[in-house]
């Protein structure tokens, strides 16, 4: 679905996948993706035993099997000592083995010593850095950043900033943000709503629309893993990537610390004003479009932590808190000119208790809170004088929310029932808050005041104190419940894991309505002699405006409800260690999704088996972890979030009533109204959203299938001497099925008539049916005599192209693991994402309606829609690392060089620039010429360099540190996105090609840290 106000506010296919199944490629190694654990494995002499002792009091012992192998699975991350024992005596040891989440550490004892030498060998120290750097136990595409790296690298303090270190992760559109205002990322060509977020194994993804998720205080992150594909059957509900955080835990030693960070205004470079671009007969060309010159910002962050043993070797605690304060001055564009004095207060809390009940049973309890509190005073702004005006009150637009975030509580029980049998149970709840203050005004908001007749407004747009078109329900809350049960059994060469992954979301009092008196005024300009929308006799027809082409419409929108989503999944997986060099993993997952409308009726039941095979292999070519070749193939299903029900299955109202006018009063309200002829004689809804209750049978096609994606990966990792690792990886992703909405009710009616149905017996056909684009769909339509007709509508009937979203990527990297002196990694990725569907949202126009985009509403929107997609960046080079310059000095850097995103030019339809749907300038035509995505070029390359220096003096026993970080050292200011809607010849949209988002100006951050 869309409007011109968007900017403001199955059976497996038997082709490549079947071939991959036959060859047994895909999946991961022994360890589960998104887990909170790692593993230790290796070789030793058969008959010996291996014992591990962890910094958190965990002690386990297993025998070496007849093939000379041993393994410890599902170990909490931390530091371990690994002892080889013979006849009860320690004969060899490895100390300071630090586990990385989701990975395996190879600790092999290939030449065990005699018991008589045990005393001397106990002092042998082998750290994780001197262990084999190539992990031959996994085959997924995983990037893990540890707390040690986070403390050194110059990064913004968000999960997404960390995720951008991973290959295939690129910055998402500036239109979109997470629950607490974080910028979002696109991973592997997926849209920003297709990622999954985890904290200590609990799914914290935003349950409302999938935009981001809840994350930890920065100082509480032990490790963050970013998966760009290839993970096993235990996890799903992601077609982009996974951002999984593991929080710190207490150990047998008490530690505490604190940090203060400051980003002063004075270090921030002044932004540059954005101007209207010369284009056609644009009379605004050269004028200031957005007065950015005086935008400023100051940020302070205070954080502290404490952790240690309540009972040594038995009970541990870790607590962390963080408070971020941001003050901003922001000037908005001429579309809605205003000055905002903004204040953000973003508190985060984290607590964890670990109880080693005994050597075989562990209980972990986690609590976390991630909130944002926003307040802003809004003032008018006069672009003719560049002066601030009178106060308009508080910002109640809901962008951002005044109060948002969530509180999380989880409990996880792990039982090592035997050496070979492990049970893990996780249960948790997340309570979300989404509060926005309702504006105290009865004045209607003014949309697109730039389109007012200049002869009636004195040559300057007239607005009023109402700052927003839509308002959110202030009572909005959500509850997300997650239950996981995983059982792992090791028998011979096989490790078999099975379990369930259940999630329930309750979304209460969600939705928005029009502010003020319940309607807004939207100004427009059009060719005076052609219809504003549609054609005579069509359901969306709006006649020509006449006169000079100026008109206005009364805009009404209301969609609110309390809805629910139930997700269930079961999986089984076998990791088969065929021999010392080959590991093959075969698994399958079955997902079920049920979405309920506002009266608890299911409108989507995607519960028939949705088999998602995950198959993979890894080959330790030389048998010494120096060269690994791996491959995997898998299918990944994605559920619809709860917000889809508000319009597609609710009682939504979305209309426009059109008028000409002869005057504009001091509040921007039109006077002297004369109705313009429409198909209904009054308000028009392009998607037939007239506020009528939606029958759940008519919310979606009756043969609807879930969105899913197939993925194939082939790669290798290789040591280069004893200091370096390099590798390469090829990735192919193909979106095989999607869910969106279609509004072409006339085609559905025509299909019924062709089937022989009497038109007089056909009931009202709702707009915006959920359907599978590019496929034949069956729609239930009311029969006025009782019951329903089934309209079978083929893709050809609609006139749509076949759905396409393909992603290809080739990554090459070179890494120098930390050797006590320096660490560095260089990564180059060539990739391309192309097709006719970005996914659940659209970045170029900032459309947040998940699975209800402009795409596929009518066939006219899909003409020339194929091209390079918004999240595509053909070339990305990433380099980051740290260098111990001297005993007290550490330098670090982070460099990202990327080609620009494709640009779009959207206009009216066809060579005659018509508007057959009533949507306006959203077609893939540019002033009458075909204009596929990317046809008008790309935004510029970006070269971002961030540098940091830390001084940790010996006189303070290196517990005290002083840090300075400079972001965007080169102060490169480049466009990241431009306004795509061009208007039409004779009525050029003055905003076309203006800058929407650009790189952040150079700024500095100063920090003081104390750790004890």
Q: What are phi and psi of 164, to 5 degrees?
A: -70, -10
Is the bond preceding residue 651 a cis peptide, omega within 30 degrees? Answer: no
Lowest mean pLDDT among 28-37, 749-758, 779-788: 28-37
d(CA 889, CA 254): 26
Q: Which residues pair with 527 in a beta bridge?
A: none
Which pLDDT belongs to residue 519? 96
Other beta carbons less than 10 A from residue 318's beta carbon: 22
Q: What are phi and psi of 19, to 5 degrees?
A: -65, -40
| Helices and strands (H, E) in the chain, number of each type | 7, 59
Read off the pLDDT of each residue in 297-322 and give the average, rounded to a whole number: 96
Which pLDDT belongs to residue 190? 95
Lowest mean pLDDT among 6-15, 551-560, 691-700: 6-15
Q: Is the dihedral of CA 122, 123, 128, 131 positive or negative?
A: negative
Which pLDDT belongs to residue 129? 42
Other beta carbons less than 10 A from residue 939's beta carbon: 19
Q: What percent of the chain has pLDDT over 70?
A: 94
Encoded tokens for 9: 């506010």
Where does the pLDDT of residue 55 fall: very low under 50, low under 70, confident under 90, or very high at 90 and above? confident
Scan for tokens 């004195």, then name that residue.
458
d(CA 730, CA 229): 11
d(CA 228, CA 731): 10
Closest of 936, 929, 933 to residue 911, by C-alpha: 929
For residues 443 and 464, the answer to whether their CB atoms sit within 8 Å is yes
Which pLDDT belongs to residue 72? 86
Which pLDDT belongs to residue 282? 63
Lowest mean pLDDT among 6-15, 77-86, 571-580, 964-973: 6-15
Which pLDDT belongs to residue 280? 62
More confident residue, 540 or 484: 484
Please report which helix (H) or strand (E) contains residue 751, including its range.
helix 745-754
Residue 33 has pLDDT above 60, yes or no: no
Scan for tokens 């992954």, then name that residue.
501
Where does the pLDDT of residue 397 fall: very low under 50, low under 70, confident under 90, or very high at 90 and above? confident
State pLDDT tens for residues 181-234: 899 999 999 999 999 999 999 999 999 999 999 999 999 999 999 998 888 898
Residue 98 has pLDDT above 90, yes or no: no
pTM score, two decimals? 0.87
Read off the pLDDT of each residue in 1005-1011 and give the average, rounded to a whole number: 96
State pLDDT tens for residues 848-904: 889 889 999 999 999 999 999 999 999 999 999 999 999 999 999 999 999 999 999
Strand-strand pairing, 981-984 and 906-907: parallel
Other beta carbons less than 10 A from residue 281's beta carbon: 9
Which pLDDT belongs to residue 90? 87
Rounded to a whole number of angstroms, the CA Rg of the chain reads 30
CA 977 distance to own-chain centroid: 18
Read off the pLDDT of each residue in 437-444 and give the average, rounded to a whole number: 86
Question: What are the helix (H) ranges across 186-292?
Answer: none
d(CA 603, CA 642): 12
Residue 2 has pLDDT above 80, yes or no: no
Where does the pLDDT of residue 78 fall: very low under 50, low under 70, confident under 90, or very high at 90 and above? confident
Which pLDDT belongs to residue 13? 34
Where does the pLDDT of residue 801 fall: very low under 50, low under 70, confident under 90, or very high at 90 and above? very high
Residue 297 has pLDDT above 50, yes or no: yes
State pLDDT tens for residues 658-680: 999 999 999 999 999 999 999 99
For residues 755 and 794, the answer to whether their CB atoms sit within 8 Å is no
Which pLDDT belongs to residue 35? 66
Read off the pLDDT of each residue in 554-569 and give the average, rounded to a whole number: 92
d(CA 292, CA 272): 6
Where does the pLDDT of residue 281 fall: very low under 50, low under 70, confident under 90, or very high at 90 and above? low
> Burial of 1012 by CB count in 10 Å (0-12 exposed, 13-18 middle, 19+ buried)?
exposed
More confident residue, 458 or 25: 458
Please report which helix (H) or strand (E) contains residue 322, including its range.
strand 315-331
Q: Which residues pair with 371 in a beta bridge?
A: 405
Q: Is the dihedral of CA 632, 637, 643, 647 positive or negative?
A: positive
Closest of 114, 110, 49 to residue 85, by C-alpha: 49
Question: What are the helix (H) ranges across 791-908?
Answer: 795-798
State pLDDT tens for residues 920-975: 999 999 999 999 999 999 999 999 999 999 999 999 999 999 999 999 999 999 99
Residue 253 has pLDDT above 70, yes or no: yes
Read off the pLDDT of each residue in 84-103 and give the average, rounded to a whole number: 83
Other beta carbons less than 10 A from residue 150's beta carbon: 17
Residue 21 has pLDDT above 60, yes or no: no
Encoded tokens for 244: 């999984």
Provide long-range contacts, Cβ within 8 A and 24+ apart, for 581-584: 581/619, 581/620, 581/621, 581/623, 582/617, 582/618, 582/619, 582/620, 583/29, 583/30, 583/136, 583/137, 583/139, 583/617, 583/618, 584/24, 584/616, 584/617
Residue 650 has pLDDT above 80, yes or no: no
Read off the pLDDT of each residue in 573-600 and give the average, rounded to a whole number: 93
Looking at every residue in the chain, the average pLDDT score rounds to: 89
State pLDDT tens for residues 494-505: 999 999 999 999
State pLDDT tens for residues 508-546: 988 888 999 999 999 999 989 999 988 898 888 999 999
Which pLDDT belongs to residue 826? 97
For residues 26 and 585, the answer to whether their CB atoms sit within 8 Å is yes
For residues 36 and 76, the answer to whether their CB atoms sit within 8 Å is yes
CA 82 distance to own-chain centroid: 39
Where does the pLDDT of residue 279 fall: very low under 50, low under 70, confident under 90, or very high at 90 and above? low
| 96, 209, 472, 477, 524 from 434: Cα distances, Å | 45, 12, 9, 6, 33
d(CA 196, CA 1002): 31
Q: What is the DSSP letter of 549?
A: S
Lowest mean pLDDT among 643-657, 705-719, 852-866: 643-657
Encoded tokens for 858: 């009518």
Which pLDDT belongs to residue 668? 96
Lowest mean pLDDT among 132-141, 305-314, 824-833: 132-141
Question: What are the helix (H) ranges across 127-224?
Answer: 147-152, 159-163
For residues 900 and 892, the answer to whether their CB atoms sit within 8 Å is no
Residue 6 has pLDDT above 60, yes or no: no
d(CA 424, CA 416): 9
d(CA 138, CA 126): 22
Q: Is the dihedral of CA 142, 147, 152, 153 positive or negative?
A: positive
Residue 139 has pLDDT above 80, yes or no: no
Where does the pLDDT of residue 422 fall: very low under 50, low under 70, confident under 90, or very high at 90 and above? very high
Strand-strand pairing, 242-247 and 196-199: parallel
Strand-strand pairing, 470-472 and 104-106: unpaired
Q: Is the dihedral of CA 487, 489, 495, 498 positive or negative?
A: negative
Q: How many CA atoms lie within 13 A of 317 on its CB side?
A: 8
Residue 10 has pLDDT above 80, yes or no: no
């Amino acid at each position: 679905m869309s409007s011109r106000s968007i900017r403001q506010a199955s059976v497996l296919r038997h082709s490549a996948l079947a071939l991959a199944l036959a060859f047994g490629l895909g999946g991961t190694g022994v360890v589960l993706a998104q887990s909170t654990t790692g593993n230790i494995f290796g070789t030793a002499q058969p008959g010996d035993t291996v014992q591990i002792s962890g910094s958190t009091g965990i002690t386990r012992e297993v025998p070496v099997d007849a093939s000379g192998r041993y393994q410890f699975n599902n170990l909490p991350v931390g530091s371990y000592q690994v002892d080889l024992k013979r006849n009860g005596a320690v004969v060899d040891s490895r100390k300071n083995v630090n586990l990385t989440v989701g990975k395996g550490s190879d600790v092999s004892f290939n030449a065990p010593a005699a018991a008589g030498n045990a005393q001397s060998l106990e002092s042998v120290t082998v750290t994780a850095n001197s262990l084999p750097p190539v992990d031959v136990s996994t085959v997924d595409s995983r990037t893990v950043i540890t707390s040690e790296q986070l403390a050194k690298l110059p990064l913004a303090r968000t999960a997404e900033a960390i995720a951008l270190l991973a290959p295939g992760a690129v910055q998402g559109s500036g239109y979109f943000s997470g629950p607490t205002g974080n910028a979002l990322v696109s991973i592997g060509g997926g849209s920003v709503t297709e990622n999954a977020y985890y904290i200590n194994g609990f799914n914290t993804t935003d349950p409302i629309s999938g935009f981001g998720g809840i994350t930890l205080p920065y100082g509480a992150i032990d490790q963050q893993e970013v998966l760009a594909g290839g993970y096993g059957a235990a996890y799903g509900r992601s077609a982009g990537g996974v951002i999984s955080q593991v929080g710190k835990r207490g150990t047998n030693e008490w530690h505490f610390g604190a940090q203060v960070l400051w980003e002063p205004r004075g270090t921030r470079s002044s932004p540059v004003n954005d101007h209207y671009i010369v284009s056609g007969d644009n009379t605004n060309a050269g004028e200031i479009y957005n007065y950015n010159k005086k935008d400023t910002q100051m940020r302070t962050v205070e954080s502290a932590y404490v952790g240690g043993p309540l009972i040594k070797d038995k009970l541990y605690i870790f607590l962390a808190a963080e408070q971020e304060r941001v003050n901003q001055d922001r000037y908005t564009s001429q579309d809605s000119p205003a000055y905002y004095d903004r204040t953000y207060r973003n508190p985060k809390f984290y607590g964890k208790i670990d109880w080693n009940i005994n050597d075989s049973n562990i209980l972990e309890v986690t609590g976390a809170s991630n909130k944002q509190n926003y307040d802003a005073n809004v003032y008018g702004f006069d672009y003719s004088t560049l002066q601030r005006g009178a106060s308009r009150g508080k910002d109640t637009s809901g962008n951002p929310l005044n109060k948002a975030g969530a509180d999380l509580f989880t409990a996880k029980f792990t039982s090592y029932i035997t050496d070979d049998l492990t049970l893990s149970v996780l249960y948790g709840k997340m309570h979300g808050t989404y509060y926005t203050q309702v504006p105290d005004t009865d004045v209607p908001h003014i949309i697109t005041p730039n389109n007012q007749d200049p002869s009636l407004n004195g040559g300057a747009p007239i607005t009023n104190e109402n700052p927003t078109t839509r308002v959110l329900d202030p009572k909005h809350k959500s509850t997300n419940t997650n239950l996981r049960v995983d059982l792992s059994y090791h028998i011979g060469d096989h490790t078999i894991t099975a379990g369930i992954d259940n999630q329930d979301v309750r979304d209460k009092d969600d939705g928005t309505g029009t502010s003020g008196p319940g309607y807004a005024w939207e100004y427009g300009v059009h060719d005076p002699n052609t219809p504003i929308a549609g054609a005579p006799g069509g359901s969306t027809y709006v006649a020509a405006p006449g006169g000079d082409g100026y008109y206005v419409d009364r805009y009404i929108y209301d969609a609110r409800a309390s809805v629910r989503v139930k997700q269930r999944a079961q999986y089984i997986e076998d990791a088969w260690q065929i021999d010392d060099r080959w590991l093959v993993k075969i698994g399958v997952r079955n997902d079920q999704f049920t979405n309920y409308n506002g009266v608890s009726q299911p409108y989507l039941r995607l519960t028939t088996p949705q088999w998602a095979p995950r198959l993979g292999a890894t080959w330790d070519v030389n048998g010494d972890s120096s060269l690994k070749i791996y491959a995997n193939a898998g299918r990944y299903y994605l559920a619809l979030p709860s917000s889809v029900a508000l319009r597609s299955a609710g009682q939504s109202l979305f209309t426009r009533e059109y008028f000409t006018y002869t005057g504009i009063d001091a509040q921007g309200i039109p006077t002297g109204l004369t109705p313009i002829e429409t198909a209904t004689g009054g308000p028009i809804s392009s998607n037939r959203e007239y506020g009528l209750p939606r029958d759940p049978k008519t919310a979606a096609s009756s043969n609807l299938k879930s969105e899913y994606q197939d993925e194939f990966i082939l790669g290798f990792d290789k040591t280069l001497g004893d200091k370096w690792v390099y590798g390469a990886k090829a990735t192919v992703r193909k979106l095989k099925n999607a869910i969106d909405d279609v509004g072409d009710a006339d085609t559905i009616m025509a299909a019924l008539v062709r089937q022989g149905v009497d038109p007089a017996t056909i009931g009202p056909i709702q707009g915006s049916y959920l359907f599978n684009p590019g496929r034949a769909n069956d729609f239930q339509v009311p029969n006025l005599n009782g019951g329903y007709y089934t309209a079978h509508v083929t893709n050809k009937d609609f006139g749509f192209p076949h759905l396409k979203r393909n992603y290809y990527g080739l990554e090459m990297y070179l890494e120098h693991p930390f050797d006590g002196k320096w660490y560095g990694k260089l990564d180059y990725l060539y990739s391309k994402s192309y097709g006719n569907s970005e996914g659940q949202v659209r970045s170029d126009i900032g459309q947040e309606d998940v699975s209800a985009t402009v795409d596929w509403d009518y066939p006219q929107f899909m003409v020339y829609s194929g091209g390079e997609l918004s999240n595509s960046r053909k070339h990305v080079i990433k380099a980051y690392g740290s260098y111990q310059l001297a005993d007290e000095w550490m330098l670090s850097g982070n460099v990202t060089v990327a080609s620009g995103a494709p640009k779009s030019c959207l206009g009216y339809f066809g060579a005659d620039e018509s508007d057959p749907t009533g949507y306006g300038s959203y077609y893939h035509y540019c002033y009458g010429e075909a204009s596929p995505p990317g046809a008008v070029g790309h935004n510029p390359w970006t070269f971002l360099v961030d540098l940091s220096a830390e001084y940790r003096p010996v006189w303070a026993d290196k517990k005290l540190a002083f840090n300075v970080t400079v972001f965007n050292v080169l102060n490169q200011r480049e466009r990241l996105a431009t306004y795509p809607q061009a208007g039409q010849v004779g009525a050029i949209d003055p905003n076309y090609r203006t800058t929407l988002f650009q790189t952040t100006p150079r700024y500095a951050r100063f920090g003081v840290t104390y750790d004890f």
